[in-house]
Each structure stands twice: as structure tokens, then as C-alpha cells.
């Protein structure tokens, strides 16, 4: 990442827009072969019985009422509800399931014919590894939940499939079930038979492949040999960006346990001089990442963990390749950059997302597009970047933060990076030592596949449910 003054940026102001619905990668029509011998029954109970709730908690059991075994990958269940607003977006989660949460998928969709009690649905499906149900057997508990991406309360009282009085499992015909594309259980809201084409808005199990990199950062220390084996470099070489004379100190990258979960901690410290400044960076050794989805859960900090505040700090998650020559047109960089104390001419906290076409370091000239938000982002945030053949999109906590133009799409693959560094020492001139932390929960990349934030959450949850701390399927370029 280049050390560049904000005045060198070509500002392209974009309105901050809300995510009105997830992006469906593919709409796959259901085939409709003859139903298998027999059928299904769905039992339902709620674990959140109030008319309003922080999240809806429909729990299910699916029972095979037929005379032949049923492959769960051919089963779909729909729970119908009324959105809390036209722009509301939702996230699905599985808290626990006898079949394993990694084998349960959740997909939000929009009904073709809205009614007074339903205009959306949550469709539950199963992966191919979920197995089968023998005649008379059921899936056991599926303790599911969904909530607004904004974490605003839900109104369940006007939801078609909700029954606040049903707190123990019982058959419930206001959810529907399909087997191999044929409706075999329940009654849908009028005019919305589940075999009718609908508009899927937020799939969490996208069709097709997509090689992935996932890392939960479950390492012992920066010297853990697994870090290098997994393709990461903990930086120790000199150079920019940052304060002249600063050291990139690998020992300041640690892996503490926070609330029972390992995280990567990047500590940056200074006592007001270049020689006393320690900066941190972790990056992939390979530049093999290009189009697709990038995601990380990152904790930004507005204040130091010790010492006086005020330094012009940059906390980041970004992708980048090397600038082969000034203004080279095959350069690419896509940044989340949080400045908790301002800098680059800004007086206070600000979050930038920036898409780079190229730049000239001297004299400074930049070709980029960026979106900014002047507010505090202290705390944990879900950051998602998607790159396809038409645009670059940035999401923060499930909401669309900025869309950047096709002229900034990458020509060459990139690395994935996290760093924390000081722009200068002008923000706090004290010689008292101080230290700042940036923390990272996980990183995910899915090659050549655009995932919605909800899909990202589902994919990460599936890895964790399966006990997968690291996977790298992305081929070398």
C-alpha cells in the first residue's frame, strides 16, 4: 500500500445507499419429476414467541411419511413472512441441528404475489452430505433463526408462518415442503405455490463451484510454522507506507483468544519518533486473487489500548498488486481504510473504500474512485468486497457502502493484506509511549463468485460448524 496524501486522490462522491436485497448469482428453475412414493410432514415450534423480537426463531423437524428413503438434498422447506420494510434485508443462521449446521442452508426470497401477511420467505435446504431419511424417520431438531441485517427488531405478529403459541413441536401446515420439486406439505400464501417461479433475493448456498480461501487465524504466535505453510507473510522488511524510520515488527502480530475465539491482533506503537514506531502487516505471499468475493471481520479501535490518543492511524483490509511503473495501467488495489483520528486533511474519524486504477508516486498523481463515511467505526465490522466483470462493490455490516465503476477493475491478480500504520507523527506530538490494536476474526475469498453478505456469513458459519480453521483451494495464477 502506497503512502499517499489524501489531496492526491481523485474524489468521486457516491451516495451511500442501503442494500435493498441480496444479489442472486443464478436463479435455478426447479425440475418437477413425479414425487417419490410417500411424502413429508413438517413440525414447527418457535423459540421467540413475542409479537416483536430481535430475531425470529423458527425451529423445524422434517419427517419422512412415505415408504421409501428420501434424500435430504431434494427437500426444501419455506417459512413465509412479511418484511419489516421494503428495503429490509435479512441474515440466516443455524444455532444447532442434529444433522449439523454445515448441512443446512438458508435462502431468502421474494414472493411473486405478496399478501397482507407475506411478501418474503425463508427457504431451508440441505447439502448433499446431509444424508437421507428412512421411512418414518425425522431430521431431529433444526434450531434456526433469522434477523434484520440492521439488527432492528422484527414484527412477527403479521407473519404468515409465525405462531407464537406453538412453543412445542407439532405439525404446522403454514410452512410448505417440496420433495424433488413437487409440493408435498403445507399451504402457501394465496397465489404463491412454491413450485411457481419467484425472485430469490438472498441465497446463502449459491450454485456452482468457487475455490475458496478461508482462515480463522487459529495460530499460536507469529513464529508458528503453519502461518507460512498456509501462505502468509508476517512483514519484517523495511519501506512504506508510514512514518520514515519506522519498523515493521512481526513480534507485534499475536493471536490471542477473545471471548473463546482466536483472533489475529496487529499492534502498532510509537513514542513520538520514527525510530520508536512499530507497525504491523500480514499479507499473502502469493498474488493469485482477482475477481470474486473478499470478506473479513475486523475490529477497529478509536483509542489506544495504552498511552495518549490522537495519532494519525490507518487500520486496513485490502487487496493489491505491484506497481510495475508509474501510471502502469495493470496496477490494482481495493481498500477498506479506517482513520480513527483523521489524517490526510481530515480532522476526525473516517472510513474510506477506494478502488485504484493506477498512480504516480512522484510527482503525486492518482487515478482512483472512493467512497467515504465520516463517523466512528470502533468495534467489530463485517467487511465485504465483490469484484465481477462490471463493477466493484463494498459492504459494511451487510449494507452497501459504495459501488465503483468498471474502469477500476483489476487486470492482474493481487495479494490479500491487513496492516496498521501511522501516516505521520503530527496528530500526537507527545513522547509518551502509546499502542493501538486492530483485530481480525477471519478472512474469506471465493474465486470468481459474487456472494452477498448473507452468503458470506453462511459460508463462514459452515466452515466453523465443520471445525474447519483453514482451507485454500485457490489455484496459483
Answer yes or no: is 391 within a domain.
yes
Are residues 235 and 254 both part of a single domain? yes
CB 107 within 8 A of CB 125: yes
Q: Which of 161, 184, 203 is the last residue of a domain?
A: 203
Answer yes or no: is 162 within a domain.
yes
Answer yes or no: is 15 within a domain.
no
Are residues 250 and 303 both part of a single domain? yes
Residue 149 is part of which domain span? Answer: 40-203
Answer yes or no: is 25 within a domain.
no
Are residues 199 and 224 both part of a single domain? no
Answer yes or no: is 33 within a domain.
no
Are residues 400 and 451 both part of a single domain? yes
Domain count, the chain: 2
In the prediction, which pLDDT does 7 show? 32
Are residues 188 and 253 both part of a single domain? no
What gap in Å lies between CA 300 and CA 435, rounded to an integer? 13
Are residues 191 and 242 both part of a single domain? no
CB 149 within 8 A of CB 43: no
Give the angle subtended at the CA of 243 by the CAs of 2 and 308, to the nearest 5°: 125
CATH number at 141 reads 2.60.40.710
Are residues 44 and 120 both part of a single domain? yes
39 Cβ contact list (under 8 Å, min separation 6):
65, 66, 179, 184, 185
Nearest in space to 250 (alpha carbons), one of 231, 271, 233, 230: 233
Q: Which of 203, 232, 264 is the last residue of a domain?
A: 203
Chain Cα centroid distance, residue 396 = 9
Q: Is the pLDDT of residue 282 over 50?
A: yes
Q: What is the mean pLDDT of the chain?
A: 88
How do residues 40-83 score in pLDDT, each as one tens digit? 999 999 999 999 999 999 999 999 999 999 999 999 999 999 99
Are residues 179 and 288 both part of a single domain? no
Q: Which band of pLDDT confidence, cut at 50, 70 and 90, is reported for residue 38?
A: low
How do residues 130-156 score in pLDDT, each as one tens digit? 899 999 999 999 999 999 878 789 999
Tally of helices (H runs) and strands (E runs) in the chain: 2, 34
CB 294 within 8 A of CB 284: no
CATH number at 380 reads 2.60.120.200
Q: 13-17, 102-106, 206-210, 407-411: which has the highest mean pLDDT? A: 407-411
Are residues 190 and 230 both part of a single domain? no
Are residues 326 and 261 both part of a single domain? yes
Nearest in space to 201 (alpha carbons), one of 346, 89, 50: 89
In the prediction, which pLDDT does 13 show? 26
How do residues 389-411 score in pLDDT, each as one tens digit? 889 999 999 999 999 999 899 99
Q: How far, in Å, are 158, 201, 354 from residue 2 at the CA level?
A: 53, 38, 13
Q: Which of 203, 232, 250 is the last residue of a domain?
A: 203
In the prediction, which pLDDT does 56 show? 95
Q: Which band of pLDDT confidence, cut at 50, 70 and 90, is reported for residue 14?
A: very low
Are residues 285 and 311 both part of a single domain? yes
pTM here?
0.60
Are residues 197 and 215 both part of a single domain? no
Answer yes or no: is 31 within a domain.
no
CB 40 within 8 A of CB 63: yes
Q: Is the pLDDT of residue 164 over 80?
A: yes
Answer yes or no: is 30 within a domain.
no
Amino acid at each position: 500500500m502506497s503512502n499517499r496524501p489524501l489531496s492526491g486522490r481523485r474524489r468521486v462522491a457516491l451516495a451511500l445507499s442501503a442494500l435493498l436485497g441480496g444479489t442472486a448469482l443464478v436463479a435455478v428453475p426447479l425440475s418437477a419429476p413425479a414425487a417419490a412414493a410417500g411424502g413429508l410432514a413438517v413440525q414447527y415450534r418457535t423459540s421467540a414467541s413475542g409479537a416483536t423480537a430481535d430475531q425470529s426463531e423458527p425451529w423445524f423437524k422434517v419427517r419422512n411419511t412415505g415408504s421409501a428413503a428420501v434424500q435430504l438434498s431434494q427437500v426444501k422447506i419455506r417459512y413465509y413472512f412479511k418484511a419489516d420494510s421494503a428495503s429490509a434485508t435479512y441474515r440466516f443462521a443455524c444455532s444447532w441441528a442434529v444433522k449439523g449446521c454445515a448441512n443446512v442452508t438458508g435462502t431468502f426470497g421474494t414472493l411473486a404475489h405478496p399478501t397482507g401477511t407475506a411478501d418474503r420467505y425463508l427457504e431451508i435446504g440441505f447439502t448433499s452430505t446431509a444424508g437421507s431419511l428412512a421411512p418414518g424417520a425425522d431430521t431431529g431438531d433444526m434450531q434456526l433463526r433469522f434477523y434484520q441485517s440492521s439488527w432492528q427488531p422484527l414484527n412477527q405478529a403479521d407473519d404468515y408462518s409465525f405462531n407464537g403459541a406453538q412453543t412445542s413441536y407439532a405439525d404446522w401446515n403454514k410452512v410448505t415442503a417440496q420433495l424433488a420439486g413437487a409440493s408435498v406439505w403445507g399451504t402457501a400464501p394465496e397465489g404463491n405455490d412454491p413450485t411457481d417461479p419467484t425472485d430469490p433475493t438472498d441465497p446463502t448456498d449459491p450454485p456452482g463451484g468457487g475455490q475458496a480461501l478461508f482462515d480463522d487465524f487459529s495460530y499460536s504466535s507469529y513464529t508458528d510454522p503453519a502461518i507460512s505453510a498456509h501462505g502468509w507473510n508476517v512483514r519484517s522488511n523495511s519501506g512504506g507506507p508510514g512514518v520514515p524510520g519506522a519498523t515493521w515488527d512481526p513480534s507485534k502480530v499475536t493471536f490471542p483468544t477473545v471471548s473463546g475465539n482466536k483472533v489475529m491482533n496487529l499492534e502498532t506503537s510509537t513514542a513520538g519518533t520514527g525510530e520508536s514506531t512499530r507497525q504491523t502487516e500480514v499479507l499473502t505471499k502469493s498474488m493469485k486473487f482477482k475477481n470474486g468475493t473478499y470478506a473479513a471481520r475486523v475490529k477497529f479501535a478509536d483509542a489506544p489500548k495504552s498511552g495518549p490518543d490522537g495519532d494519525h492511524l490507518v487500520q486496513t483490509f485490502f487487496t493489491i498488486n505491484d506497481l510495475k511503473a508509474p501510471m502502469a495501467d495493470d496496477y490494482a488495489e481495493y481498500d477498506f481504510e479506517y482513520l480513527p483520528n483523521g489524517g490526510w486533511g481530515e480532522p476526525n474519524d473516517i472510513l474510506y473504500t477506494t478502488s485504484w486504477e493506477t498512480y504516480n508516486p512522484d510527482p503525486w498523481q492518482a487515478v482512483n474512485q472512493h467512497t467515504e463515511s465520516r463517523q466512528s467505526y470502533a468495534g467489530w465490522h463485517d467487511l465485504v468486497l465483490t469484484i465481477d466483470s462490471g463493477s466493484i462493490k463494498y459492504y459494511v455490516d451487510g449494507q452497501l457502502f459504495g459501488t465503483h465503476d468498471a474502469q477500476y477493475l483489476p487486470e492482474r491478480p493481487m495479494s490479500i493484506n491487513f496492516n496498521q500504520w501511522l501516516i505521520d507523527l503530527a496528530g500526537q506530538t507527545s513522547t509518551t509511549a502509546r499502542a493501538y490494536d486492530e483485530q481480525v476474526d477471519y478472512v474469506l475469498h471465493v474465486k470468481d463468485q459474487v456472494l452477498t453478505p448473507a452468503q458470506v456469513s453462511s459460508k463462514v458459519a459452515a466452515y466453523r460448524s465443520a471445525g474447519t480453521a483453514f482451507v485454500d483451494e485457490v489455484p496459483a495464477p
